[in-house]
């Protein structure tokens, strides 16, 4: 279907889209202080002597874009995107502007808190909190060993270093990221096929790109939006495969509505056409791949007609897409995607990621101009072992790795902690910058699990749902109030950037990540592994890549030694050193080693719907909903609404703005409906930022629904992802 037809009802244009982004940014910037104060500051802004500027990195999401902050008389005035940073390229998204107000937010934690027997929280001093946590940790180690301790963190520059070092120093290997609720299946699948965990599209030279449930216009990274806009302007064909016409539609030529969780059938149908009609790249397949004969034999079954029956995309469309891709090859690619369609969504997410890689292999586009690029990342070298003592390797393996062998070494599956709390193997859990309880699997299940643990500690800036379920809540100062370790950024070029403090701490009783983990380590008896400051460690790390804190602070970002990227077939870092249509590790994990079909798990009954989720440009996950300006935008535009296709609404007698009851096997809630032509009938779309239950987050609590409440707790076999969209729901109009 052509995008223009489908956009008829709303008719946004590229100009209004970009204007909208700018308006959002301006509104959010105002939110850094009250309007009156802002106007007073404007007058003051004329006086340059009160102004100061410094570089930092946004914490609005894991992209960590470079920003330049300006203060007026010591108070934050504006933030702008850093030109030289490869992710911001001079622009911050609306969330970046909104999250900059965090330092002054009324929803902040200002001192350590301890949960009381009645469930309420009371202040506790840092010394007492550290001492009590230290004693509990010792008790757990004495009774169950250090392998009963775990940390879950959303990787931030200091956070990923300190949380891992702390856990390892205690003797535990149980370090997990958010990945099992984000992109674990996708990265694991890409790794089994290519040896790398991700790749990028060479937009500057591409002729055709296919997005499988990835929306640059909603799940924003400024540089991605810019590169796609450039490709669209240059005339590239941009195909969106999505049950919903998402906001990337503005840059797209085609919308292919698809049945959720069935993208793998479309991809295998395309592969079938490429193989059976001899449209694939023989040279690449013969010289750089392993397992092609087995794949070709299996893919013969996946005809376009078969694929149509599974994913509801017409066979003709599948053939046309395959032929057009072959004609554009190698300057074309299936984009790697991120979360929604196969990051952690379905029983077949891992296999869908492998199928994406297989189509790109048939097109011979790996490493080619306009194709799929694998690039490298820099990292710090070895440090002086006297100043930065090495932490011994923990004796026990990480909990969950045996059951989920396809979970990546760098991430693990955080749901092993949930299971571990339930069966007693995990008894002490630390959360850093993570709202696992609200977002990583069904919240009710997380709550049951953490109640069973002897010690739960959350390090956060606000009373998140995870903090609410913890025994101790330790308040971190916000991002513009702290210094962090260097962030190393990979790609065609390599960079190092830093978070440097821009403003004084607004609440003196808050601490930074390094101070908190160093304090915890001392209290737990492993302080000997932390005999350095974060500044000393940053300096030592940067020295190993030929730069310094001063140089990065001065320039905002420093380009490192040229990694020597060149177009051409890459060396695949798989065990076979080839692109793998078959994988021995996948066979060992008990799955089909040859890339092939796996169905979705949950199929809606006749009177049920598919439920899919997605991001909105002005919110990040669960964390930004309570911020004043961003919350106000959501309320102004009714962004919490559930999308329903016009045909379904007509059939059920539901009108735009009606309230409905949504229910699954797990949960029931009410929400307002947005009726739209931009959704495939039979599918409901829910934005994923809503439904906070923390009474401390007064603007967010009770506003909209949280999709994770509706999804049963089940993990993707062998991978351990959360399967965030394996659910069927019912909907009915609520009178009144
Ligand atoms: N505004 C904003 N931007 C962000 C973030 C954020 O929180 N907010 N977070 C960042 C992070 S960590 C991530 S992981 C990325 C996520 O980036 P994306 O994965 O792009 O994010 P989503 O918006 O969740 O999903 C994109 C689209 O997938 C569609 N979709 C859902 N299910 C299916 C399916 O089964 N098949 C197909 N084909 N499509 C499907 C949805 O309708 C949606 O339009 O965004 C990053 N950028
Ligand atoms: N309901 C729901 N669940 C989701 C998603 C969603 O959109 N909705 N998205 C999924 C995806 S793609 C991902 S990547 C994960 C992300 O998972 P998380 O990284 O856990 O992201 P958030 O849910 O935003 O929670 C971040 C937590 O960090 C806290 N925080 C913010 N700033 C700071 C800081 O400076 N220091 C510290 N210590 N804490 C801070 C916030 O208050 C919040 O409690 O969630 C996944 N799960
Ligand atoms: S994409 Fe937006 S929220 Fe994320 S780091 Fe960049 S500016 Fe901040
Ligand atoms: Mo994510």
Atom of ligand 3 nearest to the CA of 99: 3
Q: What pLDDT is attached to residue 34?
A: 54
Q: How many CB atoms lie within 10 A of CB 158?
A: 26
Which ligand 2 atom minimizes the distance to the CA of 707? 1
Report how far residue 64's alpha carbon sits from residue 46's, in angstroms, rounded to the nearest whole number: 30
| CATH (one of 1.20.120.420, 3.40.50.720, 3.40.50.920, 2.40.40.20) for 609-733 | 2.40.40.20
What was the pLDDT predicted at 319? 98
Look at 31 and 63; give whichever has higher pLDDT.
Answer: 63
Ligand number nearest to the C-alpha of 65: 3
Ranges of H-type helices in 209-336? 222-233, 263-276, 282-288, 292-299, 304-311, 315-328
The encoded tokens of residue 380 equal 């710090």
Q: Is the pLDDT of residue 30 over 80?
A: no
pLDDT value for 122: 98
56, 67, 82, 93, best to mutate for ligand 3 pocket (most atoms within 8 Å of CB): 93
Whether ligand 2 lies within 6 angstroms of the CB of 476 is answered as yes
The finding on whether 617 has its CB within 6 A of some atom of ligand 1 is yes
Structure tokens at 383: 């440090």
**Sheet holding 113-115: strands in order across?**
121-123, 113-115, 472-475, 455-460, 428-432, 149-153, 175-177
- pLDDT at residue 9, rounded to an integer: 42
Tell how far CA 654 is from the center of its chain.
34
Give the model's confidence band at 711: pLDDT under 50 very low, under 70 low, under 90 confident, else very high. Answer: very high
Q: Per-residue pLDDT tens for 229-238?
A: 999 999 999 9
> pLDDT grade, residue 24 (50/70/90)?
very low
**Mean per-residue pLDDT over the chain, rounded:** 94
Query: With bands split at pLDDT 50, 70 and 90, how would you rate the model's confidence at 27?
Result: very low
Q: Is residue 559 predicted with pLDDT exceeding 90?
A: yes
Do 580 and 192 meet the contact criterion of CB atoms below 8 Å apart?
yes
199-375+568-588 and 609-733 agree in CATH topology: no
Who has greater pLDDT, 120 or 10?
Answer: 120
Instruction: Please provide residue 549's backbone torsions phi and psi, each rounded to the nearest 5 degrees.
Output: -60, -45
Mean per-residue pLDDT, 80-87: 96
Q: What pLDDT is stored for residue 39 in this prediction?
A: 61
Distance 423 CA to ligand 3 centre (A): 38
The residues, ordered by sequence, that sit 6+ positions from 130 with a Cβ below 8 Å of its Cβ are 519, 520, 522, 523
Structure tokens at 96: 């970046």
Q: Quick one: residue 21, left, alpha or beta (phi over 0 = left, psi -120 to 50 = alpha)?
A: alpha
Give the pLDDT band (50/70/90) at residue 49: confident
pLDDT at 29 over 80: no
Q: What is the pLDDT of residue 32?
A: 42
CA proximity to 722, closest of 407, 457, 277, 282: 407
Interior angle at CA 571, CA 566 and CA 572, nearest 5: 130
pLDDT tens for 130-169 read 999 999 999 999 999 999 999 999 989 999 999 999 999 9
Our answer on whether the CB atom of 217 is closer than 6 Å to any ligand 1 atom is no
Query: Could you report the per-residue pLDDT of 89-134, keeping only the tens digit for each?
Result: 999 999 999 999 999 999 999 999 999 999 999 999 999 999 999 9
Binding site membership of 220 for ligand 3 (Cβ less than 6 Å) = yes
- Test site for ligand 2: of 95, 154, 487, 516, most ligand atoms within 8 A of the Cβ: 154
> Percentage of residues in the chain with pLDDT exceeding 70?
94
Q: pLDDT, tens digit, for every residue of 432-477?
A: 999 999 999 999 999 999 999 999 999 999 999 999 999 999 999 9
pLDDT confidence of residue 50: 80
Instruction: Give 339 Cα–ligand 4 centroid separation in angstroms.
Output: 6
Ligand closest to 93 (CA) is: 3
Instruction: List the alpha helices (DSSP H) in 429-479.
Output: 436-439, 443-452, 465-468
- What CATH number has the domain spanning 113-182+379-476+510-552? 3.40.50.740
Report CA(216)–ligand 2 centroid distance (Å).
19
Determine how many CB atoms are found less than 10 A away from the CB of residue 562: 9
Please say if the pLDDT value at position 44 is more than 90. Answer: no
The pLDDT of 256-264, averaged and rounded, is 98
| Residue-wise pLDDT tens digits, 321-352 | 999 999 999 999 999 999 999 999 999 999 99
Task: Give the CA dihedral 433, 436, 437, 441, nearest 10 degrees.
Answer: 160
pLDDT of the residue at 151: 98
Task: Give 216 Cα–ligand 1 centroid separation in angstroms.
Answer: 8
Question: What is the CATH code for 199-375+568-588?
Answer: 3.40.228.10
First vs last Cα of the chain: how many Å apart?
Answer: 37
Which residues contact residue 426 at a Cβ distance below 8 angstroms, ignoring those fewer than 6 apart? 148, 149, 150, 174, 399, 416, 417, 420, 453
Q: Where are the domains of the chain?
A: 113-182+379-476+510-552, 199-375+568-588, 609-733
Whether the model pTM is above 0.85: yes
Q: Does the CB atom of residue 441 touch ligand 3 within 6 A?
A: no
Q: Is the pLDDT of residue 7 over 60?
A: no
The predicted-structure confidence for 32-43, as pLDDT tens digits, reads as follows 445 566 566 666
The predicted-structure confidence for 645-694, as pLDDT tens digits, reads as follows: 999 999 999 999 999 999 999 999 999 999 999 999 999 999 999 999 99
Ligand 3 pocket residue status of 58, Cβ below 6 Å: yes
Of 219, 267, 622, 674, the one to substitute when testing ligand 1's pocket (max ligand atoms within 8 A of C-beta) is: 219
pLDDT-derived band of residue 187, with 50, 70 and 90 as boundaries? very high
Residue nearest to atom 4 of ligand 3 (CA): 61
Which residue's C-alpha comes closest to atom 2 of ligand 2?
439
């Amino acid at each position: 279907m052509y995008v223009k037809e489908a956009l008829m009802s709303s008719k946004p244009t590229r100009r209004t889209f970009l204007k909208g982004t700018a308006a959002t940014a301006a509104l959010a910037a105002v939110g850094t202080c009250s309007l009156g104060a802002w106007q007073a500051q404007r007058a003051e802004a004329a006086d340059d002597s009160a102004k100061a500027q410094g570089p930092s990195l946004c914490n609005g999401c894991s992209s960590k874009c470079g920003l330049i902050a300006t203060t007026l008389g010591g108070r934050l005035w504006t933030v702008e995107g850093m030109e030289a940073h490869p992710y911001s390229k001079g622009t911050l998204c609306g969330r970046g502007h909104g999250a900059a107000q965090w330092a002054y937010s009324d929803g902040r934690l200002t001192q350590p808190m301890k949960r009381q027997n009645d469930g309420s929280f009371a202040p506790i001093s840092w010394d007492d909190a550290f001492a009590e946590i230290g004693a509990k940790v010792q008790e757990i180690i004495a009774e169950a060993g250090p392998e009963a301790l775990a940390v879950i963190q959303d990787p931030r520059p200091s956070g990923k270093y300190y949380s891992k070092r702390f856990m390892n120093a205690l003797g535990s290997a149980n370090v997990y990221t958010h990945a099992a609720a984000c992109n674990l299946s996708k990265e694991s699948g890409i790794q089994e096929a290519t040896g790398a965990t991700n790749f990028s599209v060479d937009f500057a030279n591409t002729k055709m790109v296919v997005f499988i449930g990835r929306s640059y216009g909603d799940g924003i990274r400024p540089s991605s939006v810019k590169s796609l806009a450039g490709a669209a302007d240059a005339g590239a064909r941009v195909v969106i495969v999505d049950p919903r016409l998402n906001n990337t539609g503005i840059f797209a030529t085609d919308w292919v509505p698809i049945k959720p969780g069935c993208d793998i059938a479309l991809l295998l149908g395309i592969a079938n056409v490429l193989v059976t009609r001899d449209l694939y790249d023989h040279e690449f397949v013969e010289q750089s791949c392993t397992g092609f004969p087995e794949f070709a034999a299996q893919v013969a079954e996946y005809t376009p007609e078969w694929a149509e029956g599974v994913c509801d995309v017409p066979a003709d469309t599948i053939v046309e897409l395959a032929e057009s891709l072959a004609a554009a090859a190698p300057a074309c690619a299936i984009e790697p995607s991120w979360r929604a369609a196969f990051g952690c969504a379905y029983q077949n997410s891992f296999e869908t990621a492998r199928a994406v890689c297989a189509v790109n292999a048939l097109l011979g586009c790996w490493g080619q101009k306009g194709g799929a690029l694998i690039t490298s990342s820099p990292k710090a070298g070895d440090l002086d072992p006297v100043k930065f003592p090495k932490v011994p390797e923990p004796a026990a393996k990480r909990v969950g790795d045996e059951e989920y062998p396809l979970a990546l070494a760098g991430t693990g599956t955080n749901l092993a902690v949930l299971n571990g709390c339930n069966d007693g193997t995990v008894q002490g859990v630390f959360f850093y910058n993570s709202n696992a309880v609200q977002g990583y699997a069904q919240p009710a299940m997380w709550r049951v699990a953490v109640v069973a643990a002897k010690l739960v500690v959350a390090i956060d800036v606000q009373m998140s749902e995870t903090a609410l379920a913890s025994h101790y809540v330790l308040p971190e100062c916000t991002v513009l109030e702290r210094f962090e370790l260097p962030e190393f950024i990979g790609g065609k070029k390599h960079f190092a950037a830093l978070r440097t403090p821009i403003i004084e701490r607004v609440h003196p009783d808050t601490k930074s990540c390094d101070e908190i983990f160093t304090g915890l380590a001392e209290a737990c008896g492993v302080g000997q592994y932390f005999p350095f400051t974060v500044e000393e460690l940053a300096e030592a790390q940067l020295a190993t890549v030929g730069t310094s804190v001063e140089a990065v602070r001065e320039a905002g970002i420093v380009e490192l030694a040229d990694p020597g990227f060149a177009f051409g077939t890459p060396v695949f870092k798989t065990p076979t050193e080839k692109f793998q249509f078959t994988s021995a590790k996948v066979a060992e994990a008990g799955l089909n080693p040859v890339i092939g079909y796996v169905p979705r798990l949950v199929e809606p009954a006749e009177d049920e719907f598919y439920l899919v989720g997605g991001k909105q440009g002005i919110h990040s996950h669960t964390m930004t909903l309570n911020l004043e300006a961003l919350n106000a935008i959501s309320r102004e535009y009714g962004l919490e609404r559930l999308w329903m296709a016009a045909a379904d609404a007509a059939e059920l007698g539901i009108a735009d703005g009606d309230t409905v009851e949504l229910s699954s096997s797990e949960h029931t809630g009410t929400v307002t409906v947005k009726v739209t032509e931009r959704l495939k009938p039979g599918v409901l779309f829910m934005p994923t930022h809503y439904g906070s239950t923390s009474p401390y987050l007064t603007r967010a609590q009770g506003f909209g629904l949280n999709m994770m409440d509706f999804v049963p707790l089940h993990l993707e076999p062998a991978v351990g992802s959360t399967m965030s969209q394996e659910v069927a729901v019912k909907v009915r109009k609520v009178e009144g």
